[in-house]
Amino acid sequence: MYVRPFDPWRKTSLCTCPFKYSVNPYTGCFHGCLYCYASSYIKDFFNPRPKEDFLRRVQRDLEKIKEGSIINISSSSDPYQPLEEKYRYTRHLLEMLKDRFIIEIVTKSDLVTRDVDILSSSRSLVSITVTTLDSGIARLLEPRAPPPKRRVDAIERLTEAGVPVVVRLDPLIPGLNDDIENIIEVLEAVSLAGANHIVSSTYKVKPDNLGRLSKVFPEVIPRVKELYLEKGQKIHGYIYASRSYRAEILKLVKVEAEKRGMTFATCREGLSNLNTPGVSCDGTHLALRKAII
């Protein structure tokens, strides 16, 4: 099956998302983000390729899924990476989903605005990751992803068209993008662009992503080693930073997000007490409330 229940944490309390399905039109991702987790469990991850017989098999999968279910696109590989311009699998998938399902898109690409016609006329929301507005850091951290300014511009275009937008300020990496100046700069820009909801989480260490980070940003490694290797804890195969650090930095994001009129939630942190009351962590509550144009 290409459309599968989203359950990466095996029904633990870490994942507080409502029940949903997830589908990835492509295997692997072009963006090359240093902090990527999927590269640790998907072979040849940074060499993306289209799924075999994708559209036919997805159509068959969808026939077995209850109408009104939430469909996430996608949980590991960006649905709007450059392959999409050639294959248009994401566009075709949206056409299949638009009249029957709740659509949640997760991306770093402004190519998502190409499909604003479908998104504005369906129960949908778009989550756009913005880790920093510093173009120099972004170019090194997310080397082949669209620059931050294009992502902020995409937020504005989507919200103007009536599409709810969630911003994922994650991962927060100690000594790199977790300073108060960066956090406020991102939140200020995305709130002005019209974002409704902020989801934030801290960097999770895997051997391969730590190796990439060490090569490009060696200056942050002493702090990372302190918080993760010395004071952190291993949870479901990931090394987390110390709970005190995570609680402190995510509370800061919460306060600054809510100060700007946006709701807030953590992701995979075990800190759901920080979430704005009445919201889903992934922002799908926004699609449920959305008026269809």
What domains are defined for the chain? Answer: 4-289 (3.80.30.30)
pLDDT band at 16 (very low <50, low <70, confident <90, very high): confident
What is the rounded distance in angstroms from the CA atom of residue 83 to the CA atom of residue 49?
Answer: 8
Q: Residue 106 pLDDT > 80, yes or no?
A: yes
The residue among 18, 112, 114, 27 whose CA lies nearest residue 72 is 18
Antiparallel, parallel or unpaired: β 26-27 and 49-50: antiparallel
Q: Residue 26 pLDDT > 80, yes or no?
A: yes
Average pLDDT, the chain: 95
ω into 164 cis (within 30 of 0) = no
Mean pLDDT of 41-51: 96
3-state secondary structure of 128: strand
Which pLDDT value is given to residue 11?
55
pLDDT band at 8 (very low <50, low <70, confident <90, very high): low
What is the rounded distance in angstroms from the CA atom of residue 151 to the CA atom of residue 170?
Answer: 14
The residue among 200, 241, 246 whose CA lies nearest residue 223 is 241
Q: Residue 292 pLDDT > 70, yes or no?
A: no
Mean pLDDT of 16-32: 95
The residue among 207, 191, 108 whose CA lies nearest residue 156 is 191
pLDDT band at 174 (very low <50, low <70, confident <90, very high): very high
Which pLDDT value is given to residue 224?
98
Alpha-helix residue ranges (DSSP H) falling in the chain: 54-62, 83-87, 89-97, 116-120, 135-141, 148-160, 180-193, 207-216, 221-224, 243-259, 284-289
Which pLDDT value is given to residue 15?
82
Q: Residue 113 pLDDT > 70, yes or no?
A: yes
Which pLDDT value is given to residue 83?
98
What is the rounded distance in angstroms from the CA atom of residue 161 to the CA atom of residue 3?
Answer: 28
pLDDT tens digits along 115-156: 999 999 999 999 999 999 999 999 999 999 999 999 999 999
Antiparallel, parallel or unpaired: β 233-235 and 238-240: antiparallel
Which pLDDT value is given to residue 214?
98
What is the rounded distance in angstroms from the CA atom of residue 124 to the CA atom of residue 116?
Answer: 10
Which pLDDT value is given to residue 12?
64
Which pLDDT value is given to residue 14?
80
The residue among 37, 14, 77 whose CA lies nearest residue 210 is 37
